[in-house]
């Protein structure tokens, strides 16, 4: 319903005083007359609203419409009319809701930044030089000029800012003291942490409390900078670290005891939610102090790197280049020298097992269980991180599903046979353009080879799976749930019994499996194509290729 300009002006002249109750009635009337489910834009909703039905008492439709325009003038309009009316209702029913708290009359003004001081002092000068510029353009120009100033000229404005800042902070401290009734006491944030603290946490809390006793008014940033906990903790002698490690373990024992008393119904089954108490380096330090043997490296290459580390770092090389240099030196060694390191590594492993068994015989039953559990937990954690699974004897190896992987495998083998001195990365650089130059028909040929190998693999997998016991089959399917799609296929099972390959394309069979079951060589090749050249990865790949 639209009104003319003359009618609206007339309405304003005849308008009576609107009370709060009248305004609420007006809003209720508008809300009731909006069609249900109407989500049209605000302007359309206002235009099509039947204001005759909204009018009430001494107020005409024109007066109601005009008053609504006044009310909605300061409201955000990018909404429907129903949403606007609801917001207006809330504002009238709760007049104090959403209003900002008044600022304290004595609250000091924040210090003006140095560039703003420069702009304030030179505004008239720049305005006279550039009269055509608007104020925003002038401020932008002055900011650029300030940045171009030499340091000795900037120092004047920085000094003014620092003076204002000191006065502001002083006034804020006085204001807080006047309104809080006393000085705020700094609390130990580490004190109320539930559960035992780590050795580093205990040490840091001790250093923090000592610093606060000497400097009661210090700020948090000053505490952190003065303690420099990370650097100082790393430089602490082993004897000092052991002291905090033992205290942390004592705290853990006490915490577990209290947990048992607080929750006796759990009977020791309550699991701690905090992170591991000791880091790997701290655990090794504790084990050595308790007379437990040091675990040897897993392979000869790792033993070589461990022995070479001190020599390489002593020669002045950075720590980031340590593994790269180790890899280069390992490659230059003869096969007999590498085998000697592997034999030494195997010997150290046997000695470690003997010494560990002796330690287990001397400790209590509880400590022995903890040691064995920790060992099995570390093994399972590493397996989970690497994504490895228990391999079943005789399980067929899954071939690559892509023709590109088949092509890479063939060409890499040819290159390695001709030029064994070439690195893996060099071979990849040479093979990658060859695939891109292949015609589409040749690429399809390799894809057909890959599909044929996958079909053969499916038949071999079904044949091998039938040889397993029921328990082994259940375990295998539990570890490889995606293989169920292949093993449940009746056609593949029938072909496995016949001992020959199916000719069907098996398009409906999803042969995707977990990463651990995919062809390692093809997967490495596809990943190495986009290899970033990380030193640790390169050294480990070189180590694997050499040890094999």
For residues 475 and 458, give the distance between their C-alpha atoms in angstroms, rounded to a whole number. 19
Could you tell me the CA-to-CA distances from 233 to 229, 236, 257, 474 in Å, in that order? 6, 5, 29, 50
Mean pLDDT of the chain: 74
Structural Rg of the chain based on CA atoms: 39
How high is the pLDDT of residue 284?
80
What is the pLDDT at residue 437? 86
For the chain, the maximum distance between any two Cα atoms, rounded to a whole number of angstroms, is 110
Task: Report the range of poorest mean pLDDT among 191-195, 398-402, 408-412, 478-482.
Answer: 191-195
pLDDT at 340: 92
DSSP H or E run through 93: helix 81-93
Residue 219 pLDDT grade (very low, low, confident, very high; cuts 50, 70, 90): low
pTM, rounded to two decimals: 0.34
Q: Which residue has the higher pLDDT, 204 or 103?
A: 204
User: What local confidence, expressed as pLDDT, does residue 94 receive?
Assistant: 60
382 vs 340, which has greater pLDDT? 340
Check whether 98 has a pLDDT greater than 70. no
Grade residue 102 by pLDDT with cuts at 50, 70 and 90. low
CA dihedral 434, 436, 438, 444 (to 10 degrees): 120
Tell whether the model's pLDDT for residue 255 goes beyond 60. yes
For residue 330, what pLDDT band results from cuts at 50, 70 and 90?
Answer: very high
What percentage of the chain carries pLDDT values higher than 90? 8
Check whether 305 has a pLDDT greater than 80: yes
Q: To 5 degrees, how large is the angle CA 373–CA 376–CA 382?
A: 135
Is it the case that residue 13 has pLDDT exceeding 50?
Answer: no
pLDDT band at 161 (very low <50, low <70, confident <90, very high): very high
What residues does 80 pair with on adjacent strands?
A: 41
Integer Cα distance of 495 and 503 in angstroms? 10
Domain segments of the chain as ranges: 5-93, 291-386, 403-547
Question: Do 325 and 312 form a contact (C-beta atoms < 8 A)?
Answer: yes
The three-state secondary structure class of 243 is helix
Q: What would the pLDDT profile of 399-415 be if each residue is shown by its tens digit? A: 888 888 888 888 888 88
- Whether residue 196 is predicted with pLDDT greater than 70 in this model: the reply is yes
- 100: number of Cβ within 10 Å: 5
Q: At what angle do helices 424-437 and 535-547 cross, to 10 degrees?
A: 100
CA distance 446 to 425: 23
pLDDT number for residue 118: 92
Higher pLDDT pick, 529 / 353: 353
CA atoms within 13 A on the CB side of 450: 21
* Highest averaged pLDDT of the listed ranges 319-333, 334-348, 468-482, 495-509: 334-348
Q: Which residue has the higher pLDDT, 209 or 115?
A: 115
User: Residue 37 pLDDT more than 70?
Assistant: yes
CA 130/CA 290 separation, integer angstroms: 80
CA distance 54 to 46: 12
Per-residue CA distances from 99 to 77, 83, 91, 96, 102 (Å): 20, 20, 10, 6, 9
pLDDT score of 286: 82
Rounded Cα distance, 508 and 495, in Å = 17
411 alpha-carbon distance from chain centroid: 39
Q: Which residue has the tokens 């920790």?
A: 374
Out of 160-169, 338-347, 370-379, least confident range: 370-379
Q: How far is C-alpha 247 from the geometric centre of its chain's CA atoms?
A: 32
Mean pLDDT value across residues 124-142: 89
Q: How confident is the model at residue 253 (pLDDT cuts 50, 70, 90)?
A: confident
Distance CA 359, CA 144 (A): 72
Which of 322-326, 367-371, 532-536 shows the lowest mean pLDDT across its residues? 532-536
**Angstrom distance (rounded) from CA 243 to CA 256:** 20
The CATH architecture that domain 291-386 belongs to is: Orthogonal Bundle (1.10)
Q: Does the structure show a pLDDT above 60 at 317? A: yes
């Amino acid at each position: 319903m639209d009104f003319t300009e003359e009618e609206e002006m007339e309405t304003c002249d005849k308008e009576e005083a609107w009370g709060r109750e009248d305004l609420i009635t007006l809003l209720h009337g508008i809300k009731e007359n909006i069609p249900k489910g109407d989500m049209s834009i605000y302007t359309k909703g206002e235009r099509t609203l039947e204001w005759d039905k909204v009018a009430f008492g001494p107020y005409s439709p024109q007066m109601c419409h005009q008053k609504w325009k006044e009310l909605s003038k300061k409201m955000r309009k990018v909404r429907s009319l129903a949403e606007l009316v609801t917001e207006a209702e809330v504002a009238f029913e709760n007049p104090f809701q959403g209003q900002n708290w008044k600022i304290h009359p004595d609250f000091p003004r924040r210090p003006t930044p140095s560039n703003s001081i420069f702009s304030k002092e030179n505004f008239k000068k720049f305005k006279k030089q550039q009269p055509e510029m608007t104020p925003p353009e002038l401020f932008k120009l002055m900011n650029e000029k300030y940045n171009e100033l030499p340091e000795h000229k900037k120092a004047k404005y920085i000094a003014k800012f620092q003076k204002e800042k000191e006065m502001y902070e002083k006034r804020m401290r006085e204001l807080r003291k006047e309104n809080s009734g006393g000085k705020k006491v700094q609390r130990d944030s580490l004190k109320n942490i539930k559960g035992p603290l780590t050795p580093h946490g205990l040490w840091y809390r001790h250093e923090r409390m000592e610093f606060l006793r000497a400097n009661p008014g210090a700020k948090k940033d000053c505490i952190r900078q003065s303690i420099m906990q990370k650097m100082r903790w790393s430089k602490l002698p082993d004897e000092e670290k052991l002291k905090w490690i033992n205290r942390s373990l004592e705290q853990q024992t006490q915490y577990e005891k209290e947990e048992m008393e607080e929750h006796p119904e759990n009977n020791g089954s309550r699991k701690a939610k905090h992170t591991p108490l000791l880091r790997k380096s701290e655990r090794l330090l504790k084990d050595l102090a308790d007379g437990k043997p040091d675990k040897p490296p897993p392979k000869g290459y790792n033993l070589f790197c461990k022995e070479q580390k001190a020599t390489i770092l002593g020669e002045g090389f950075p720590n980031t280049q340590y593994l790269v240099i180790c890899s280069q030196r390992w490659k230059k060694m003869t096969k007999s020298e590498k085998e000697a390191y592997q034999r030494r590594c195997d010997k150290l492993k046997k000695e470690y097992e003997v010494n560990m068994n002796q330690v287990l015989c001397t400790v209590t039953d509880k400590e022995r269980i903890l040691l064995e559990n920790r060992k099995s937990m570390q093994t399972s954690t590493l397996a989970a991180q690497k994504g490895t699974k228990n391999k079943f004897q005789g399980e067929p190896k899954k071939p690559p599903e892509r023709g590109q992987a088949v092509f890479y495998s063939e060409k890499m083998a040819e290159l390695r046979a001709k030029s064994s001195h070439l690195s893996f990365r060099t071979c990849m650089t040479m093979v990658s353009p060859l695939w891109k130059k292949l015609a589409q028909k040749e690429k399809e040929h390799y894809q057909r080879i890959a599909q044929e190998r996958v079909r053969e693999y499916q038949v071999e997998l079904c044949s091998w799976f039938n040889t397993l016991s029921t328990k082994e089959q259940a375990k295998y399917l539990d570890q490889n749930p995606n293989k169920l799609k292949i093993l449940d296929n009746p056609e593949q099972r029938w072909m496995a019994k016949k001992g020959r390959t199916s000719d069907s394309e098996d398009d409906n069979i999803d042969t995707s499996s977990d990463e651990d079951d995919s062809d390692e060589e093809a997967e490495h090749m596809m990943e190495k194509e986009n290899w970033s050249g990380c030193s640790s990865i390169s050294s480990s790949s070189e180590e694997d290729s050499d040890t094999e």
